[in-house]
């Protein structure tokens, strides 16, 4: 339909898509009367439906990322409050022992 509205002839478009000009004329009348809602089939959905689907998808993604961020913040807070001991030459050292060791060097 957009090709016809862009200036191509009805016969040319009918040949290009192997349709009868009469069928094409019927479809063009429906399309002009109803716009994109004229042919809602599975392949072509109205833009508002596509937008709603995309919005839902993005909202789900935002929710997942929010949960991941919250988890990582809690994990980071826990590691800051209770750091893991650091091994130096195979010997585990506490934070206070590391400070004392640094002072000796």
Residues 29 and 69 in one domain: no
Read off φ and ψ for residue 93, nearest 5 degrees. Answer: -125, 140
Residues 105 and 59 in one domain: yes
Residues 98 and 51 in one domain: yes
Report pTM: 0.39
Range of the domain at 56: 45-105
Q: Is 105 helix (H, G, I), strand (E, B) or coil?
A: coil
Tokens of 50: 């596509």
CB 3 within 8 A of CB 10: no
Residues 61 and 39 in one domain: no
Q: Digits of tens for pLDDT over the chain (105 positions)?
A: 777 778 888 888 888 888 888 988 888 888 888 877 777 766 655 677 778 888 999 999 999 999 999 999 999 999 999 988 887 776 666 555 555 556 555
Residues 25 and 52 in one domain: no
């Amino acid at each position: 339909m957009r090709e016809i509205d862009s200036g191509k002839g009805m016969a040319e478009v009918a040949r290009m898509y192997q349709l009868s000009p009469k069928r094409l004329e019927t479809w063009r009348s429906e399309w002009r009367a109803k716009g994109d809602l004229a042919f809602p089939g599975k392949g072509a959905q109205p833009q508002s439906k596509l937008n709603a689907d995309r919005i839902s998808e993005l909202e789900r993604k935002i929710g997942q990322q929010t949960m991941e961020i919250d988890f990582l913040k809690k994990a980071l807070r826990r590691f800051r409050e209770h750091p893991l001991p650091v091994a130096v030459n195979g010997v585990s050292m506490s934070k206070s022992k590391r400070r004392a060791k640094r002072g000796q060097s």
